[in-house]
Amino acid sequence: MSRLRLGVLISGRGSNLQALIDACADPGFPAEIVRVVANVPGAAGLDAAARAGIATATVDHKAYPGREPFEAALTAELEAANAQLVCLAGFMRLLTPGFVAHWRDRLVNIHPSLLPAYKGLDTHARALADGVRFTGCTVHFVRPDCDTGPIVIQAAVPVAPDDTPDTLAARVLLSEHRIYPEAIRLIATGRACVEGERVVVSGAGLPDAAVNPKI
Ligand code: GAR
């Protein structure tokens, strides 16, 4: 079985990266991580990658005169590793349309809300301020506008009456760690395909939770 070659971009903690590392540790998982690149020197996720024996690089955006040369360096790292799919995992830099076009339909992101609700930052505080009963997380292919693009998978997460942004973030994060590997599996096995501006998942019915409320 040839495995899809993933490049992962991070800015910090790297817990979603760790979830992908754990999934890829299963030889039956249809993808492998070939390079982890951080834009923040010393990002904690770099240590997790190194512990797993994955080649890492730091491309510090502050060392470049603008976004284009910074992104050219990112692409050089990813292409040197022959990455076939680029996964943003807590990567906190806006990307130019040029970078997004270069990696079109080969670039995915995880975002801590049920897109298209709560794009951008402080998603959990805004959800709490609105009094929503459910929020969640989304894995999507990346398009030029921030936090937009064809949706691969989502998970809904209930909001508790006494939630703070931190407690809600922690609950959503558990679902992020579940759906990011699942999204990669769907893409790597060819089950999730971009058609127009939507992702069609072959063989998909209702999400599990809709069929069995106990899940
Ligand atoms: C995650 O919650 C991820 O969804 C979010 O940053 C966190 C990174 O955590 N990403 C965004 O907000 C991107 N718009 P991690 O470094 O532990 O994976």
Question: Between 3.40.50.1370, 3.40.50.170, 3.20.80.10, 3.40.50.1100, what CATH number should domain 111-215 receive?
Answer: 3.40.50.170
Confidence of residue 203 (pLDDT cuts 50, 70, 90): confident
Decide whether 1-103 matches 111-215 in CATH topology: yes
Taking the whole predicted model, whether its pTM rises above 0.85 is answered as yes
Q: Which CATH architecture has domain 1-103?
A: 3-Layer(aba) Sandwich (3.40)
Query: Measured in angstroms, how far is the CA atom of residue 45 from the centroid of ligand 1?
Result: 12
For residue 205, what pLDDT is reported? 79
C-alpha 174/C-alpha 15 separation (Å) is 10
C-alpha 168/C-alpha 170 separation (Å) is 5
Specify the amino acid at residue 39.
Answer: N
Minimum mean pLDDT among 114-118, 186-190, 210-214: which range?
Answer: 210-214
For residue 1, what pLDDT is reported? 78
176 lines ligand 1 (CB under 6 A): yes
Name the closest-CA residue to atom 5, ligand 1. 90
**For residue 21, is pLDDT > 90?**
yes
Over the chain, what is the mean pLDDT? 96
110 lines ligand 1 (CB under 6 A): yes
Name the closest-CA residue to atom 16, ligand 1. 14
C-alpha 112/C-alpha 128 separation (Å) is 13
**For residue 215, is pLDDT > 60?**
no
**For residue 181, is pLDDT > 90?**
yes
Mean pLDDT, residues 60-82:
98
Indicate the angle between helix axes 165-188 and 15-24, nearest 10 degrees. Answer: 30
Structural domain spans, the chain: 1-103, 111-215
Query: Measured in angstroms, how far is the CA atom of residue 1 from the centroid of ligand 1?
Result: 31
Q: What percent of the chain has pLDDT over 70?
A: 96
